[in-house]
Every structure is written in structure tokens, then in C-alpha cells.
Structure 1
Amino acid sequence: MKRRPHGGYPLYPASNHYDPIRRRFFNPEPKRRLQPLDFGGAFKMLSRKGRFPAQSLPFAKPDFAAFMRQERLPEDEQKAQFVWFGHSTLLMRVAGLNILTDPVFGMNAAPNNKMFRRFQPPPAAPHELPPLDIILYSHNHYDHLEEAFVRSVADSGVHFLVPLGMEVLLRRWGVKSENISAADWYQSHTVGGVTFTATPARHDSSRNLADHNRMLWAGWAVEGGGQRFYFSGDSSYASHFADIGRHFGGFDLVFMENGQYDRRWLDNHMFPGQTVQAAIDVGARRMMPIHWGAFSLAMHDWDEPVCCSIPLAIERGLQVLTPLIGQVFDADAETGFWWEEV
């Protein structure tokens, strides 16, 4: 079978983050180079006990009946509902739409079943979820995009919202073109009264050695039901967070990347202080840390991200939200520091 040139990826107009000659995306604020792990560093990373919880994490079995119940209330009393499955997988119900972000339900965040094992099974299986309207993806890394899940819902009629280029991958996995909408930064799609806008991020993309940065990476702003939310996806800290804050005028709740950082990849993920500053930059009324609680992809202790970021956020006067994995919650929920009991 003859392969299409450039892997079948479309040619996009030149921009401050796309090179049409190389057909690759790039960061307007360049990242510093990764420092490779030597054998000793790799062994230390894989053997460090603190990277994994010493016991099972507490969780709640999602009450999907409660999750769906808001629509019975008068419209002015309805609040968006959320369930966190660990890492960056969130189920949202906004203005009557069920929205799932970066769904990964398998036991590995890698192309094989021997690396980056999940701490424990997610609190619900994919078949237990309520009917989905939208699946939102931030980028194509294995801890955010799971081929098996995509294939399992490809014929369900759910609509996929993705950054530019990811539509090529989804079509390969069986999703029909009419069920995919791809967006560049600051491009919006409105579905059922909810507006989804792709936002800048400072990261990268790849599934293999040949497709590096062929697909864009992004965060998402979600606006509906009189509320505004921000899902950061993966990003290192840069000026785009302040730009997002100016563009949207703030958010009721932000789901901000917090974890999997390391001095060897300084510009791939945010350190705790940067997570807090990013939440302040985008104008968060309240911040929920994500990108932790399911996988260990770095050398820090499994709970170090929140042990560091939460006190810093409180010190800066930023309200925090830290629900149990599987708990149904809204932007005003009262939550505790459950990891302190593990």
C-alpha cells in the first residue's frame, strides 16, 4: 500500500506556531532541550518507592444519577457537574452536555503494558459512563490519548474536539470525519449552546519517532450555562497563560496541570509554583490540580505536586478544589486534603 506523503497530515497556513515548509508545529516561546536520563537516573526513577502510594488511594464510586440530576432544577439553579478519574481524565456536565477530557481508562500510559502502570483501576469503567456528547483532547501523548478507548466509542456518534492534526489519527482509528472538529489556538466550536475554544499551550506532540509535532497541542476553554471553565492540557509555564486570562476575562474553575515535572525536562511540565502562577494568570476563581493521582511519569513522589502547590495557592489567596477520585462535585464544592491520610 502506497503511503501518503507527510503521513496524510494537512498543510496549514504559516503562523507563529506552524511551519508549512517542515509541516510541523512549534512553540512561540521555544523550549529548552531535554536532558537525557543516564542508566543510573533511569534505574533511580523506576525503583524510587515514593513514586507510588504505599496503599490504595481512597476513591468514590461515581454517582452518575446525581451527576445527571441538575437538569431537573430550574435553569438558574443548575451548576456544572464534574467527576475526576485521575490524571487528566475529567467528566463534565455543562449545560446538558456530557463532556469527557483526555480519556485514559487503561492500566498503562505507554505503548506497551510494562511501563507507567496505573496506581489502581479507575473508579468506573468506560461502559458505566453516561452517554457522551463530546470528547475533548489536548494532545496525542499516551497518557492523554488511548487508542483502545477511541476505537471503543468510534461508532457511538460522540463528537470529538481536537487540536489541528489529531483528526488524522482519529480517522485511522475508525472515527468518521463528520464526528471530528479540529481547532487551531483561539478557534471555537459551539455545540448545544456550549462553546469550546482551543487555547495555546507550551508543549509538544508525538506517538512515534516519525510524527513529532505533526499534531498541535492545546488547552480548552469551555463556556456554557453562565459559567466558564479552563482545562489546561499539558503545558510548561509561559506568557500564554496571561494572554488566555486577558482573552476570556477569568474562569469559575480551572483544571491546571500539576505533576510529572523534572529538572531534566524543565519546559515540558510546570513545577508547583508555576502551576499556581498559571492559575492566577488565567484569572481562576478556583483551581483544581490535575495530571497527578494515577500515573508516575517523573521522579518526584506521587503526592509531591499537591503537597507543594496547595499551600502555595492558599498563601497566594487562591481557592483550591481537591475532590476524591470518582467524587461528583461542582465549582463550589467543599473538599479536603485526602492524600494526607495515605
Structure 2
Amino acid sequence: MKRRPHGGYPLYPASNHYDPIRRRFFNPEPKRRLQPLDFGGAFKMLSRQGRFPAQPLPFAKPDFAAFVRQERLPENERSEFRQNERSEFRQNEQSEFLRSKNEQKARFVWFGHSTLLMRVAGLNIITDPVFGMSAAPNNKMFRRFQPPPAAPHELPPLDIILYSHNHYDHLEESFVRSVTDSGVHFLVPLGMEVLLRRWGVKAENISAADWYQSHTVGGVTFTATPARHDSSRNLADHNRMLWAGWAIEGGGQRLYFSGDSSYGSHFADIGRHFGGFDLAFMENGQYDRRWPDNHMFPGQTVQASIDVGARRMMPIHWGAFSLAMHDWNEPVRRSIPLAIERGLPVLTPLIGQVFDADMETELWWEEV
């Protein structure tokens, strides 16, 4: 087979995060190099003690009937963060059906780590879907704590699959291949469209976005947001594909999905750009002093949530895999008290539980 130049990746315009000569993305705020594991770190990485729960985690079997049930937002609960006029659909929403869709209360189901099923303005959206038992190319490594609370075939019909980047704990080839014939639309950062097409997704079912570029589907606007991370699936494709978070605006609510990111000034920029969020799903886990610029430490997660203007924060990127040396529940044991101390309301549903932005939740991991 003839080898494609540059791996088949497009040439993008030069920017503060893309080098057209090297055809690779980079972080505007440079990252420090990874530090090698010492003996103690390597032993901890291979050991399950503390890094895995001592007993099965509590979970709920998702009630998908409740998840898709339409519930209009009461007028006094509708967010001041309304979808603005830049939506190409906004001015055409004249029918009562579309109006009721746009006032529907968003619902969510968390499957652990960064996989979230969202119901926003009548659209079924899933973020970084990973349902397998491993977050690595070798399925004997980075094993899942326990099976997810529902299998992919049990999900309601999907409208949008939203990806933040291409790492194995966020992008699962088997899931992509299982939905290629469903007509679902993929929203991805620049470069990921190349990989999806290799896996059988039709080009017309993929929309790729640079930071602060938006796509509107069914009255919901999705905007890729900056992140401070990296990308790779193998040794040859390092940073060929962009990484991003996502702002989701629709149904009278504004949501933020951070994707993976270390802390940086981009969070405050995002807050200024959008004016705040009703609910922010924030990376909280898989950090280590040896890779300080790959993932946020708990205090940084809280500060980043404040920076983006979150009215409420839900920690994600934990609860399914152990990809670092810290104990499985350390991220929330540290971040939740810090958030409460800062006056930031938090949301901590059970894995599999149907919830909305106003639900009261428990600190369930304290009983495990």
C-alpha cells in the first residue's frame, strides 16, 4: 500500500497552536517534559492496592425512559446564559415543537471517566465514549474497575458523538466502528476526522473544529474550546490531531466539557468568551508530579471551574480507570472539600444515575 505523505493529515493555517511546517499542533503555553518513573512510582503503577476500589462501586442502571422524557424548564429556572443570536437556527424556531425542545431541561448519565450521555434540547449527545474494559491498545493494561452500567447497544439512539482528543481512554475504535452505519454525527477537533474516516465513518457525518469554531446541529451550538494537553495513538502521530474541550449551548442552558487539560490561562479566556456556564464537567484525576502539565491537580480543577464561571461543577476523568499513582478516589476526596470551601456547588452522581444540573447528590465514594 502506498504511504500517504504526512499520514494523510490536512495542512491547516498557521496559528498560535499549529505549525504548518511540521504539520503538528502545540500548546501556546509550553508544557514541561515528562519525568521518568522511579522505582517506587513503577511499583505503584503496577500495583492495584489503593489505585483500585476494594469493593465494587455502587451504580445505578440507567433509566433511559426518564432520560429522554421531555420536561420544560420553569421560567424562573431558565439560565441567564441563553443561547445567543449567532445560532443559525435560532431565528427560524417558530413552531411550538421546536420551542418546547429548546426549553427542555438537560439530563445526563455518567458512565465513569469522561463518558457522559447528555440530553440537550432533544438531542442525544455522548462525550468520549469508552465502554470497553481497557484504556490501552493492549487490553491487559489500564483495566476498568468494573463493567459500565449499560452496554452501547442499550443506549438510546445517538444524534451527536463529541470527542475531546484521540487518547485511548477517550477514543475507542470498537465503539466508533459499531456506530458507523447509524447516521450519528461526529464533532471532533481538527485532524481527528482523518482517523474516523479510516475507521469507516463517512465524511459527511464528521464536522471538525478548531478552537472557538462552532457547529450548530438541531438548534444546539457546539464550540471547541482551548485545552492544554496533547494527542497521540502511536509513535508516529504525536500532535497530528488537535485536543479540545467543548461548550454546548441549547435548551436555555450552557454547559462546558473540559476534555483533558492541565491548568492554564485558557480557562479564564473561556469564561470571558462565554460569560459562564450552568454546569461544568471538569477533568479531575490521573495527575502526577511527573507529568504536571498533562492533567490538573485537584486544587487546579476547582480554580479552573471558577475561572470558566461555572455555577456548578461535576468532577470527571475518574471512577473507571486508574492511569496514575494516586488512589482511585483521591481526586474527589481532595477537590470536593476545596470546592465547598470556595463556595462552588458540586455535583457527584452515581455512575449510571440519570441527573440534571439541579439534583442533590451524595458523597457516595466515602462508603466504598
TM-score normalised by the chain length of structure 1: 0.98
Question: What residue is the counterpart of 1:21 in the other structure?
Answer: 21
* Paired residues of 1:116 and 1:296 also in contact (CA < 8 A): yes
Deviates more, 1:189-198 or 1:44-53: 44-53
Deviation at 1:38, TM superposition (A): 3.9
Q: How does 1:230-309 map to 2 (within 5 A)?
A: 230-309=256-335
* 1:272 positional shift: 0.2
CA–CA distance in structure 1, aligned partners of residues 221 and 254 of structure 2: 9
Percent identity (aligned): 93
Measured in 1, the distance between the counterparts of 2:245 and 2:23 equals 21
Partner SS for 1:339 = helix
Name the SS of the counterpart of 2:69 in structure 1.
Answer: helix
**CA distance change for structure 1 residues 76 and 4 in 2, over 3 Å: closer, same or farther?**
farther
Count residues in correspondence: 342
Other-structure match for 1:126: 152
8 Å CA contact 1:233–1:257 kept in 2: the answer is yes
1:50 is aligned to: 50
Q: Is the 8 A contact 2:73 2:105 kept in 1?
A: no
The CA RMSD over aligned residues, in Å, is 1.3
Instruction: Return closer, same or farther for 1:307/1:189 CA change in 2, 3 Å cut-off.
Output: same
Give distance in 1, aligned partners of 2:241 and 2:276.
Answer: 28
Equivalent position SS for 1:220: strand
* CA distance in 2: counterparts of 1:46 and 1:296, whole angstroms: 10
Map of 1:39 onto structure 2: 39
The 2-side partners of 1:37 and 1:173 are apart by: 34
Deviation at 1:74, TM superposition (A): 8.5
Q: CA deviation at 1:48?
A: 4.6
Does the 8 A contact of 1:48 with 1:299 survive in 2? no
1:71/1:96 contact within 8 Å kept: no
Q: CA deviation at 1:45?
A: 1.6
Q: Are the equivalent residues in 1 in contact too, given 2:189–2:209 (CA < 8 A)?
A: yes
Distance 1:197 1:23, change over 3 A: same
Could you list the runs of 5+ residues in structure 2 that have no partner in the other structure? Answer: 78-103
Unaligned 5+ runs, structure 1: none
Instruction: Show CA shifts across 1:184-230 (max 9, x none).
Output: 00000000000000000000000000000000000000000110000
User: Normalised by the size of structure 2, how large is the TM-score?
Assistant: 0.91
Distance 1:76 1:152 in 2: 42
CA distance in 2, matches of 1:73, 1:286: 17
Q: Superposition pairs for residues 1-342 of structure 1, below 5 Å? A: 1-70=1-70, 78-342=104-368
**What SS is found at the alignment partner of 1:309?**
helix
Task: Give 1:43 deviation, angstroms.
Answer: 2.1
Moved more, 47-56 or 122-131: 47-56
Q: Find the aligned partners of 1:225 and 1:176 in 2 and give their Cα distance.
A: 29
| Preserved CA contact (<8 Å) 2:284 2:317 | yes
Partner Cα distance (1:112, 1:76) in 2:
51
